[in-house]
Amino acid sequence: MNHPIGGFGGWELLRTMRQGKDLAGRRVGRRTARRVLEFARPYRWAIAVFLVTVVLTAGIGVATPVLAGNVINEIGSARAGAAGTIIRIALLIAVLAVLDALLSLAQRWYSARIGEGIILDLRRRVYDHVQRMPLQFFSRTQTGALISRLNNDVIGAQRAFTSTLSSVVSNIIMLVLTAGVMLTLSWQITVLSLSLLPLFIVPARRVGSRLAAITREAYQLDASMNATMTERFGVAGALLVKLFGHPDTETDRFADKAARVRDIGVQSAMVSRTFFVAMLLVASLAQALTYGLGGWLAVHDRISAGTVVTLALLLVRLYGPLTALSNVRVEVMSALVSFERVFEVLDLAPSIAERPGTRRVPPGSARIEFRDVHFQYPSAAEVSLASLEDVAALERTVTGPVLRGVSFTVEPGQVVALVGPSGAGKSTTAMLVPRIYDVTTGAVLVGGVDVREAELQSLRDTIGVVTQDAHLFHDTIAANLRYAKPGATTDELWAALDLAQIGDVVRSAPDGLATIVGERGYRFSGGEKQRIAIARLLLKAPSIVILDEATAHLDSESEAAVQRALAAALTGRTALVIAHRLSTVRDADLVLAVDGGRIVERGTHDELVLAGGLYSELYRTQFTARTS
């Protein structure tokens, strides 16, 4: 005989009870529910077949105890044909068992097909959407919280169409069929058995509250340990610990949290076991009442012995659905809240998006024009979510203008340098060209096309960027290079590496192009990373190049090597160069001195040095610092 608890998934019941306190007071709007149904539309036929298997399984679950009772009745009847009837009933039970097994496999297949399909669709849509978010979104968002939306919340949403849906439907059908049959057989026994139900549910809810409290603490400790490991096990964090940290102290702090997680695990195990023992006891008492009253009625010929057995077996299948359905709101709300959290990300509209009727930037376009450009960063509420920043409410402070009336033109083949103090707006100016940001007012044109009206792919095909912190993915050198040109041949890779003055270094590596660069490229020096990034740009072969402090923080030898690589990268191309070291822009066709979001000076290096203005002051400050 099946145990009552195991018969209806006691662990699932405990999980929903843990969530109940966290979901108290939560409301999910009808719009969310409608969107969920729309999301399920592609799987409607699979869901329909899935539900049919659930219904049939529930029917078999009720039919089997009834047949078992008939067997008992036939055994006690002493009729001449009783043996044959018993064999036929036994064969029918066997057929139903085989059918139940096949339905279980079909149900699991459809459940997996629906669930995994929904996970794929949600993850794909969220990943695609997040890629299109503005840079400020990533600078404000906690990476772990964002990843959680792609993992935990997506899986929680998937549960709505698998475990929740099947649980609700099967429990309702099981409850109706079981209660109907039991009342038909003996309403007295049915009412008496249900009288113990409060002893079943009330302790379960109290246990659920206790489990919710310790589970929340465990989740917080797990998150804290994960954050610690993420920080300490990254290359930069590991280096900081080695230079300034105390390994024993670090281990002790981590061990304290891990020990508390261990203690919570023990508490959770004991609370859960106590719950199961208590529930099994209550269910066993209910069965004892059934056998007692049923036996008394059977002895007095009120009901048959087979009916007593049937009622006892059905009782197991009655308590399960009743208890599970008492927590159905928690289960449904949990799934809907997961959907709501996913929709929250999808509803945050990217500030940079292609407009209807976009135009392709003509291939080979090499002219840049800024027309009275003003720019200020959007508020946090426009680009981020409080839940992803782990704050109660987003800042609504609007920052002041970063650029104020910037106008200039870079003709094809020219090298124009932007110089000025930190925070003057140089990098912001450069990032307006590939449309990392959008102007507030004014216009930026590439090849005569306003970048806001340009097809994004054609715009980014035209422009190549090298920043001061050249990022490399944890992959091979070849894969990092082909990120710029997926179909590049091996010969093209080597040609780009040689032009970037890094070919010999890669050839000397044990695995050559198959060398793994490590996290953020940390297996290579700063100058080597920069030259690999330049090789990636050369492979892309853009007509416009933006260099954002590409030689900053490099030693003299590395800077010289990078400068030789840059000379190859700039040959025959239009370049917008942001430079902190003014010695690197001596040969620029035009130097623009930026201060306070405005262009305050423009001219060649020699002209601006003689002018005695901001550029001259910056140059003399650097020259004095280098010679002192």
491, pLDDT greater than 90: yes
243, pLDDT greater than 90: no
| pLDDT tens digit sequence for 320-335 | 777 667 666 666 766 7
278, pLDDT greater than 80: no
CA distance 68 to 608: 100
Average of pLDDT values for 370-375? Answer: 94
Which is higher by pLDDT, 478 or 510? 478
Q: Residue 623: pLDDT band by 50, 70, 90 thresholds? A: low
* pLDDT confidence of residue 408: 94
* pLDDT confidence of residue 552: 62
* pLDDT confidence of residue 451: 92
* pLDDT confidence of residue 22: 47
Among 151-165, 366-380, 523-537, the range scoring the smallest mean pLDDT is: 151-165
Average of pLDDT values for 444-463? Answer: 91
> Is the C-alpha dihedral spanning 141, 146, 149, 152 positive or negative?
negative
- Per the CB < 8 A criterion, the answer to whether 294 and 186 are in contact is yes
Instruction: Show the DSSP H helices in 234-327 as ranges.
Output: 235-244, 247-299, 305-326
- Per the CB < 8 A criterion, the answer to whether 407 and 159 are in contact is no
Q: The pTM is what?
A: 0.72
| pLDDT tens digit sequence for 379-394 | 777 777 777 776 656 6
Average of pLDDT values for 354-361? Answer: 86
- Cα distances from 412 to residues 406, 415, 437, 544, 545, in angstroms, run 19, 9, 23, 9, 11
* pLDDT confidence of residue 326: 62
CA distance 502 to 549: 19
371, pLDDT greater than 70: yes
* pLDDT confidence of residue 209: 61
Mean pLDDT of the chain: 79
- Per the CB < 8 A criterion, the answer to whether 621 and 447 are in contact is no
Strand 441-446 relative to strand 449-450, pairing: antiparallel
Which is higher by pLDDT, 75 or 231? 75
Residue 348: strand, helix, or coil: coil
- Cα distances from 340 to residues 30, 157, 188, in angstroms, run 11, 9, 46
User: Which pair of tokens denotes residue 620?
Assistant: 């003399």
Strand 544-548 relative to strand 368-375, pairing: unpaired
Percent of the chain with pLDDT over 90: 13
317, pLDDT greater than 70: yes
Average of pLDDT values for 35-41? Answer: 79
Domains of the chain: 4-346 (1.20.1560.10), 411-439+454-627 (3.40.50.300)
The neighbouring-strand residues paired with 574 are 544
* pLDDT confidence of residue 286: 77
- Per the CB < 8 A criterion, the answer to whether 495 and 489 are in contact is no
| pLDDT tens digit sequence for 567-591 | 777 788 898 988 877 767 888 899 9
Among 34-38, 59-63, 94-98, 620-624, the range scoring the smallest mean pLDDT is: 620-624
Which is higher by pLDDT, 409 or 305? 409
420, pLDDT greater than 60: yes
* pLDDT confidence of residue 167: 75
Average of pLDDT values for 592-621? Answer: 88
* pLDDT confidence of residue 8: 41
| pLDDT tens digit sequence for 8-24 | 445 444 454 445 444 44
6, pLDDT greater than 80: no
Which is higher by pLDDT, 159 or 368? 368
Element (H, E) at 623: helix 614-627
Q: Residue 442: pLDDT band by 50, 70, 90 thresholds? A: very high
Strand 544-548 relative to strand 574-578, pairing: parallel
Percent of the chain with pLDDT over 70: 80
CA distance 153 to 526: 38
Q: Which one of 2-6, 220-224, 600-604 scores highest in mean pLDDT?
A: 600-604
280, pLDDT greater than 80: no
* pLDDT confidence of residue 193: 74
| pLDDT tens digit sequence for 106-161 | 988 888 888 788 888 888 888 888 888 888 788 777 776 777 777 777 777 777 76
5, pLDDT greater than 60: no
* pLDDT confidence of residue 187: 82
Q: Any idea which residue has 């096990």 for tokens?
A: 233
* pLDDT confidence of residue 2: 40
Phi first, then psi, for residue 603 (nearest 5°) are 160, -170
CA distance 163 to 115: 9
- Cα distances from 385 to residues 376, 382, 604, in angstroms, run 20, 9, 45
* pLDDT confidence of residue 24: 47
- Per the CB < 8 A criterion, the answer to whether 316 and 156 are in contact is no
440, pLDDT greater than 80: yes
Average of pLDDT values for 176-197? Answer: 80
290, pLDDT greater than 70: yes
* pLDDT confidence of residue 331: 65
